[in-house]
Amino acid sequence: MIDPEAMSSISAVARSAAQRAPDKICNRFEGRDTTFKDFDRHVDQVAHGLDAGAAKVVAYLGKNCDHVFEIFIGATRVGGMFAPLNWRLAPAEIIEILRQYPPQMLFFGPEFSEAIKEINAALPDIQILAMEEGDGPWETYEAWRDGQSSEPAADCASTHDPAMVLFTSGTTGVPKAVLLSHSNLLQPKLDSLAVKHIYDHWDDEDIGFVAMPLAHIGGIGFWTIAFVNCCTSVILREFDPVAALDAIHTERVSKLFVVPAALQIVIQNPEAKRVDFSCVKTVMYGAAPMPLPLLKEAIEVVGCQFIQCYGMTETTGTIAILPPEDHVPEGSERMRSAGRPAMGCEIAIFDPNGKPVKAGEIGEVAVRAPANMLGYWKNPEATSKTLRDDGWLLSGDAGYLDEDGYLFIHDRIKDMIISGGENVYPAEVESALYAHPSISEAAVIGVPDPKWGEAVRAVVTLKPNATLDEKEVLAWMRGKLAAFKCPKAIDVIDVMPRNASGKLLKRDLRAPYWEGRERQVN
């Protein structure tokens, strides 16, 4: 249960949980259990270590790990902020992020001992620590942590201070850094106390399941929900269907957040038939709608409540909820929607002039909520384009509200592609394609994909007398960008479609793939 008196900062929540439930398991990870009392003691040790090193920005490159949350809360206890990095990025991309937003300390997981050498060579002023033994010459996290004082550290965090920075996929190659405050993280949880929906409520015995990447709000945000409710989190290093099924069966997980593609992999695994799902109360899903056939199968296999959560990094996650009562196996019009505004959120649809439109009219989705980001770090221009002076945040999604206040997402005003829950910006991929010696022009679009929601597809024209080997180009791209950003296929055309002013008409490129579908996102 939430302690309302402790919701001034995420660090204060840790202190309260240690006092309320000292011997209860906070995190369970690969056979290692950490109680709330020990967790808070470790946070104090981390805080002392960071304070001694004058570290106010602390980054992490790696897959999920229980110790990462000690670093997260420890950074906030000294008034600093935590920056988890997307481990799926290429080293060159990570270096560019760290160059633009340099941390004083960088912790890395065991999978990145080679990448860290490149990073260290490029950015030698950043202090580096290894999360596990045997990862080169670096001091290990536990050795560093346990060398610090365990005396209670002063909580230097304030409600509206930045607590976390999450990186969005950049339209020009360098991601934007989203600043989220303690209030952004905690106020929605306080708001939920005012509404007695059973699916928002966590009992003391509930167990959360954290398998989504911590660099995404769906990963670290879901852990935060369990944490503020003083509930145990079972953490997987990365999503694995067999490990997920085992955790549900043996750890009796009751609440989890997944993307539909991950849920599909889990329930269609042959092992699913032998798993006891009776412990699962709620499955929350986001990043994409739930196809009706998949929902029917999930209800049959898991048999619990399903909730769709629509949101974005800039809103600290969920701003609209499609509740369990709107998830019906026979399907309904509302199941095409993203739901209604979450508690404390206002949603409006604006025309190109920034004026509200009537119900049923398509425009840009905007949200005004206490969880709206502080802004983009070191990027006032981008902040002013996204966050209006009157508090409305422009999402870049096109949609409409029906007469009952349900939000329907129609298209993306921005060209972002969502593939398996990962954001891909075409401009970044196009820039890489343009560097290939055979390619004259490149356009990148999202096309329907039954597994990932959308797949990245490239459309190119060639230079005079050039030829293109699709397999060679795709392999070449994987050396430039993270694998999830690389096109799955390449179409070669003679000329790009353009309007009278010369603007590329991407809708014409997308149209054949989306023909017959009700909306232009999947």
Which pLDDT does position 196 carry in this prediction? 64
Q: Is 50 helix (H, G, I), strand (E, B) or coil?
A: helix
Does the residue 311 lie in any domain?
no
Residue 171 has pLDDT above 60, yes or no: no
Which pLDDT does position 73 carry in this prediction? 98
Does the residue 423 lie in any domain?
yes
Provide the number of structural domains found in the chain.
1
How far is the C-alpha of 327 from the C-alpha of 324, rounded, in Å?
5
Does the residue 324 lie in any domain?
no
Residue 370 has pLDDT above 60, yes or no: yes
Which pLDDT does position 293 carry in this prediction? 76
Does the residue 128 lie in any domain?
no
User: Which H or E run contains 490?
Assistant: strand 489-492
Does the residue 455 lie in any domain?
yes
For 74-102, letters b (16+ CB in 10 Å) and e give bbbbbbbbbbbbbbebbbebbbbbbebbe
Does the residue 430 lie in any domain?
yes
Calculate the average pLDDT of the chain.
90
For 503, the domain range is 417-514
Which pLDDT does position 473 carry in this prediction? 94
How far is the C-alpha of 231 from the C-alpha of 25, rounded, in Å?
8
Q: What is the CATH number of the domain that holds 509?
A: 3.30.300.30
Type of residue at 404: D
Residue 107 has pLDDT above 80, yes or no: yes
pLDDT digits (tens, 9 = 90+) for 116-127: 999 999 999 999
Does the residue 442 lie in any domain?
yes
The mean pLDDT of 453-478, rounded to a whole number, is: 92
Residue 205 has pLDDT above 60, yes or no: yes
How far is the C-alpha of 18 from the C-alpha of 319, rounded, in Å?
30
Which pLDDT does position 500 carry in this prediction? 46
pLDDT digits (tens, 9 = 90+) for 466-521: 999 999 999 999 888 999 999 999 999 998 887 544 567 888 898 899 887 765 55
Residue 364 has pLDDT above 80, yes or no: yes
How far is the C-alpha of 81 from the C-alpha of 181, rounded, in Å?
9
Q: Distance between terminal CA atoms of the chain?
A: 36
List the single range of 13-22, 136-145, 256-265, 414-423 with lowest mean pLDDT.
414-423
| DSSP code per residue over 227-246 | HHTT-EEEE-SS--HHHHHH
How far is the C-alpha of 133 from the C-alpha of 381, rounded, in Å?
43
Does the residue 190 lie in any domain?
no
Give the best-scoring range by mean pLDDT among 40-49, 308-317, 431-440, 457-466: 40-49
pLDDT digits (tens, 9 = 90+) for 44-57: 999 999 999 999 99
